[in-house]
Amino acid sequence: MDTRERMKIYEELTSLSGIAGYEKAVRNYLKERLAKCSDEIIQDRLGSVFGIKYGPADGPIVMIAGHMDEVGAIVVNITPKGFIKMQPIGGINPEVFLSQNMQIDIGNGKFIQGVIGATPPHSSRGLDEDNRKLSFDDLLLDIGADSKEHAQQLGVKIGQQITPVNNYFITADGKKIVAKAWDNRFGCGMALEIMEAVKDLELPFTLVAGATVQEEVGLRGATTASQMIEPDLFIALDVSPAGDFLDDKHPASFGALGQGFLVRFYDPRCIMHNGLRQYFYELATKNNIKHQNFLSMGGTDAAAAQYAKHGTLSTTIGLPGRYIHSTAAMIHIDDVEAVKQMLMAILQDFNQDVFERIKNNV
């Protein structure tokens, strides 16, 4: 199987538009696929969706979750000249949007494309460099409209979502893929892969796998979904910023493409449970699965899920990605395989006794 065929599900997922609060297209895709490999599909009131594979009624519950939403923006105003003003949704540096092709979702599967304008050097000569720090308020999306009325006639309305135009491609070595929204359509696709892989297996626990909503704006979907499901073990699947293009002395130089999945042993909102960390290291080593330590100053859905029930064993299995939270990020297919191998190793090893041993090793 070549790379494009192997990663087809991810090409389809990254091509969908879905910022926080606007995840409908991604949710519909997931529900259609989950229906073919789940005993039941559940959805909370915010829109997080999961497939369930039932195990023994008295067994533990394992929850595996990506998140549907990507970073992007919404339309907040149309200028008299027809330019679109935007509000960012999620953490975005405005510089990464300059000169980028974007699209406005005008409904019914239709999009209007445009470009975020960048001031050419000819027009900025003589300006004080110190006063040119870019803010999101400086950005204008140009869809080619001649006036506000023209933009409205084309279908633009306040509140519509704006996402990058996807430029999905495989690098020349056949091992890396560039696309928008790897954070976190990767987690969505991997949750589907896992449910499809265990469809015909008997598991000594109940498996709940799918994706949350609104992670990029405060882990909101994970908060409600974990309260609904009350898992004993929660694994967030997410893409974390690879620092291998930075200087080795840089504090964010953790994470390298091609070196395996990320063991997120620390972030400010979720310190990995001691027993769970030891279990991951032992299982990955035993099965010769490439992995690397990862420290992050950001957070994932694991931070919200740890508060469910009386405290949930909660962690993140990460995929390193260069240039995330931009219009194009890069991942390595070998790391995707390492994540899948680790998840399958956990699901084939985990049971009530293992859970008790991990839980008691605080």
- Known catalytic residues are 215
- The bridge status of strand 110-116 relative to strand 72-78 is unpaired
Count of CB atoms situated within 10 Å of the CB of 360: 8
Buried b (16+ CB within 10 A) or exposed e, 76-114: eebeeebbbbbebbbebebeebeebebbbbbeeeebbeb
Alpha carbon distance 16, 232 (integer Å): 32
Cβ–Cβ under 8 Å, residues 103 and 32: no
Judge contact between 324 and 177, C-beta under 8 A.
no
Locate 208 and state its tokens.
């709940």
Whether 187 contacts 239, CB under 8 Å = yes
At 260 the three-state DSSP class reads coil
